[in-house]
Structure formats: structure tokens, C-alpha cells
Structure 1
């Protein structure tokens, strides 16, 4: 028990300072004894006269020289334990600088013997491997992001190009021209929304500190979002069931508005015509919960784990021409606000989203 407590308190099995000190002391002592033994054997075999002071001084000098030589050779061998991982780290950093994020430095966990690290170099190697893993993940995300952006931008641009070519050819009735111009407008709006969402996501990614100084009536803000989006989706004739008691929170007004707009827009987008959307608001001690329940198409369980990934769209979402950034934006905003989101959905039965905000 005492040994386990000591291991939990100490970070390293043996830090480099103690390792160097012990190595030098032990090496010098051992080499000195070896030198004395070697000189003594030589004197016993080859010298049989009386020892004079001058000869004793000479013997001491020889012992010192032999000790220094043996110590140098021994330390040269022992310091390989230090120089090897340093060399590996240097080579790995060189490869990382050239864009190779698959490099990993091998190191043994068994030598730690229950401690967090064997020594400082072991910690350095471990942290470097972690850093490279993060960089590899970021590099993959960057490439995946560029691929997704190219795909998402290409679709509306191709549609606009094709429709504009048809319009330029002429020989269309006024009704057909209006229809094609309407499609061009829809794709232009979609492209504009995509660019706006990407810029918003980029700003949120680089934002760590926000000023939560706005006093907000959540019930009024949510009602405002419902009114704004009802105009957009009025053709669906959706009925709203609102349970919104008066609740006030001090937070960031614009960020909260983006959360409700994205979630409500999703709920309306994936609801059938003449359906119902239920919105609830409650406060319990230091937490405020907002729930949005729709009876739309829903999402299958295997796809729910990916819904917060950027540009992720399941088949149902592709039919509605979404950008795949809305829920990513919501997730990032809640991370900044210290909130949480709970997503429950069943295919063919609808979705319930609950946002939990903490009152500080």
C-alpha cells in the first residue's frame, strides 16, 4: 500500500538528474576499484622492490588515468540510454516538419513499473506521439473538409451554370423562364447560406472567450424564431404547441439565437405537412432546458452518432438540400456557452432535441 501511494505521488520512476548523479558516482567508484585492482596485480607480478614515495605518486597517477579512461568508456555506453531517444525525437520532428504525421517513436511502458513515466524523456516521447496523433487527425479533417466543401459548392454552382446556359440559349416560354430563374435563385440562396455557415463555423472555431452580458428572455426569443421561420415554411402548415414560461438568462444573445434558428429550422424542414412541433422550456435550480419535439422522418440509430460532424448528411437530409453544418454550429456554440445538447430520434417517428444551459 505504501509503495502504491509513493508511485501515485511521484511522476517519474527515476528522473534524469538522479539518474546522471547515480551513474557518475557508481561509475567512478567502480572504475577506481578496478584501476586499483589492476595496478595492484601488476605490481605484485612485475615489481618486487621497496616502494618509494616517487613510485607511490606514479602509481596514484596511473590509477587516476586508468580510472578516467574506464569512466569515460562506461559513461559513453550508459549515456546511450539518453542520446537514443533524443536522436529519435530529433528525427521524428524532422519528418513531422516535412508533413509526415504517421511517424511514431517506440517506447516501452513496462519500464515505468507503475509510475506515470520512466523519466523526462519518456514523457517527452509520449507527448510527442500524442501531438503527432492530433496533427494526423487534424490533417485528415482538413483534407476531408476541403473535399466536402468542394462537393457542396460544386452542386449548386453546376446547377446554376446549367440553368443559365439553357436561359441563354433562348427559345423558352415566359413560364419556363420564370421556373428556371426561380431554380437559379434557389441554388444561389443555398450557395450563399453555405458560405455564411462556413464563415460562421470558422469564427466559432477560433473563438474561445465570449461575453455573456446580455439579459435575455428565452421564451420571447424562441417565439421570435418560430415567427421568423414560420414565414419560410408556411407551405407546410405546421402547428406549434408552445410551453414557454417566462425565463430570463444572462448569456450571449446572438449565439443563442443561432441555436434556436438552426434547431427549429431542422424541425420544420424534416416535418411532414400539417404536422405538429412541440417546444418546451423549463428551469430547475441552476439549469435551463429547452426541448424541441417534431414528428418528422427521424434518423436511424447508427447515423445519430455522426450528426454533429461537419458536412455530414444522411440520405434523408440530402433530399432536403441541407448543408450539413447547422448542428455542428449548434454544438460549437454550446461548447462555448458551457451547455449541452441531447439528441433522441427514431426513424419514421420524429426527433426530440433538448438543450441544457447552465446558470452561473
Structure 2
């Protein structure tokens, strides 16, 4: 009897252990999905509400998505929110930064490589195959070379990948999320990006706004980062004075949300008291460089001349900030696209 009884207890022990692991796994998945919920995309501004609404609209689908926005605006966080709020949430999420991989290695990284393709080379699974059944996030897709672009396009068309040095294709069930800080339409005109790949990726387009475009969200974000890093570092709760908050909202934030997060982290460490005043802010934020074009620069000019110069400078600077995307430039300047085009012609601005 000892043998069967011992086997029974062993089976029961294994069953309980399996149930425990299943419960733990389910708990961890709930934690991950909660961490990347759209509720974590903080912001009450219209651009952020629009962004969250698009993610919610596509949550039941697996369509490919193109994410655009400046560096530091949270494009990877948006990609993870899309993945973890989709039917593929419990399948792999694989990310690759296309700008960080040398052009000589990018194809083997993306598509894999078979053993013996070169001396001493072992077989390696590429990112496309690793992401099978799940999502592949192609970050900085605008930096991909033309040869690799052609091969990525073929994979997207055929939903199958052929590793380097291999003749057989591997079928894929995969979703593609691509992100870039470049104006891909301008890159297409310059001959640096394939238009067919652009339209293949851009089934749905979402844009992550620059922080200067959503100043009303700065208090919410700043207080969130102060609270998070205060808890993480076991520091007393801190708050920003009215003057310090005003400085944050007036600053242009070239590094966007990433820069704001790092500044709040620094303040949690450096400020001893519980109130953060203006003088505690980084000098570049507290005293930003003055932009040329103040009253002293307009002396000796008539009012029409001064207005024309200011208008021309604003259009040039906004075009550059928007990477010469005329729709975005017009929106930021409060103009119609046709109105912007007329002013560009009037001021003879080269685009």
C-alpha cells in the first residue's frame, strides 16, 4: 500500500503546485496588463484624450499601427499599451531599435540566420520569429536602410520570414507596431523611405504629442513623477510651489516627458524640505535662454515690418520643429493648411 499511497500524495502535491503556479501566473499577467493600461497614459488634454481613444477603438483588433512623435514622448509606452490591451496581450511583445543595430547586422537581427551562413555562425532566431503569435515593435523604423526596408515589406506582405542563409520560409501570425521621430512623408520625397512600406505600416496612425503642446498636463505629470520617485526612494512627500509649477509650464521641454521625469527624479533626491521652490529647478528650466525677437530687436522698424519678421520667424521655427509637416505646422500656428501655404509663398520660405 505504501507505493500507491506515496504516488497519490505525490500527484496531489504536483496538482497543488500546478494550481499555485497558475494562480501566480494569472496574478502576474494582471499586474503587467494593469501597468500598461491606457489609464497609465496620463493627461487630460485633447491630444492625450484623442490618443487614448484611438487605442481603445483598436483594442479588439490586431491591425498594424504607425506611432509618430518626437523623442521622449513615450512612443514605446504607447506601443505596450496597444499590445497589452489587445487579444495578443499574453503573447510575446518583442522590441528592436532599428537605429541601434549596424546595417550589416540588421537583417540577421530581424529575420534570423541559419547555422554555417558564415564561419563560426550559429543558428539564431530573428525578432520576427520571436514575436510570432504576438507583437513586434519596430522602433525608429525611419532609420532602417533601403535594403532592409524592402525585406520588411516582403515579410509584411507575405506574413512569412526567410532567415539569412535559409531557403525555407517560416509562416508568421504577427502584429507590427512601428515608431519614428522622423517625418516619413518628407523621407519618401527625399528617397530615403519606401512609400509602399509607409502605407503598409500606416493602417492606423497615432501621434504622441510633444510636452510643449500639452502644457495643461504638466502639473499632473510632474506630481505623478514626484509621488512615484518619492515612494521608490523612501523620501518624504514633496510638492511644487506655485512659482516652480509656473516655470515648468512656461518651459519648452525639448526632451519632452523623459526630461520632465528626470527633473522630478533629481528634485526628489536634491531637495531637503517638502516644498520645491523655483530656485531648486535646473538653471536651464529656471532661466531659459532668451529668444531673439524682443522689443530691442524691433527698433527702427515699422509695425508692418516687425509683424512680417515675427510671422516669418515663427513659421520657419514651427516648420523645423514639425519636421516640415505642413498639416502639423498649420495646426500648431492656428492656421488652415491653405493659409499656411499662402504665407510660406509670401515670405519665400523654402520647404
TM-score (ref. length: structure 1): 0.23
* Larger helix percent: 1
1 or 2 for the larger relative contact order (CA 8 Å, sep ≥6)? 2
Larger Rg: 1 or 2?
1
